[in-house]
Amino acid sequence: MNPFAALVAGLTNPVETLEHFDAQVLRDTGCSPARIREWTKLHKVYYGKTTFTRKQADAITVARSTQKSLDQLVYIESRLSGVTDPGQKWRLRLALLSVKGDYQTLQRRAKTIVPEVDKPAAEPTLGFGRSRKKRRPIIITAREDDAAAIEFASRQGLGDGPAGPQMYENLMTILGLRPDAQGERDAAPARVAPAVPRPLILVPLPDYITIIGGDGDDTILGLTDGTTITGADYLTQHHGAELEVALFHPQEGAVNLYDTQRFANRKQRDLARATMPTCPVPECRHAADNCQVHHITAWSRGGHTNMDNLAMLFRYHNRTNDDDPEHAYRGRVENIRGTPTWRSPRGHLVANTTHPYGAMTLLYGR
**What type of residue is 323?**
D
- Closest residue by Cα to residue 97 from 117, 114, 82, 85: 114
- Tens digits of residue pLDDT in 40-65: 999 999 999 999 999 999 999 999 99
* Low-confidence winner among 131-140, 236-245, 345-354 (lowest mean pLDDT): 236-245
Long-range CB pairs of 85-94 (<8 Å, 24+ gap) are 86/51, 86/52, 87/52, 90/52, 90/55, 90/56, 90/59, 91/55, 93/45, 93/55, 93/59, 94/55, 94/58, 94/59, 94/62
pLDDT tier at 75 (50, 70, 90 boundaries)? very high
Radius of gyration, alpha carbons of the chain: 26
User: Torsions phi, psi of 48, nearest 5?
Assistant: -85, 175
Q: Across residues 161-168, what is the average pLDDT?
A: 94
CA distance 337 to 335: 6
The residue type at 99: V
Nearest to 94 by CA among 63, 48, 53: 63
Distance CA 201, CA 274 (A): 10
250/206 Cα distance (integer angstroms): 9
pLDDT in tens, 6-30: 777 767 778 888 888 899 998 998 9
| Rounded CA separation 334/308 (Å) | 10
Mean pLDDT of 328-345: 90
Look at residue 264 in the predicted model and tell me its pLDDT.
Answer: 67
For the sheet containing 349-350, what is the strand order? 332-336, 339-343, 349-350
Mean of per-residue pLDDT scores for the chain? 82
List the one residue out of 313, 361, 315 whose CA is nearest residue 338: 361
Query: What is the spatial distance between Cα 160 and Cα 152, in angstroms, rounded to a whole number?
Result: 17
pLDDT in tens, 285-304: 888 888 999 999 988 888 88
- Rounded CA gap, 270 and 246, in Å? 9
Q: Within its chain, how far is the Cα of 307 from the centroid? A: 22
Residues 185-241 pLDDT 10s: 555 556 788 766 666 666 665 655 555 555 555 556 555 444 566 656 665 665 444
pLDDT at 207: 59
Identify the pLDDT of residue 344.
93
Q: What pLDDT does residue 63 have?
A: 94
- Average pLDDT of the segment spanning 148-161: 90
* pLDDT value, residue 260: 45
Task: Return phi, psi of residue 122, to 5°.
Answer: -70, 145
Give the pLDDT score at 245: 61
Q: Taking the mean position of all CA atoms in its chain, how far away is CA 233?
A: 34
pLDDT of 277 reads 83
The whole-number pLDDT of residue 255 equals 54
d(CA 297, CA 301): 7
Q: What pLDDT does residue 257 have?
A: 42
Q: 96-105, pLDDT tens digit by residue?
A: 999 999 999 9
Please state, in angstroms and rounded to a whole number, the distance separating the CA atoms of residues 297 and 310.
9
- Other C-beta atoms lying within 10 Å of the C-beta of residue 30: 6
Give the pLDDT score at 28. Answer: 92
Residue with more model confidence, 248 or 217: 248
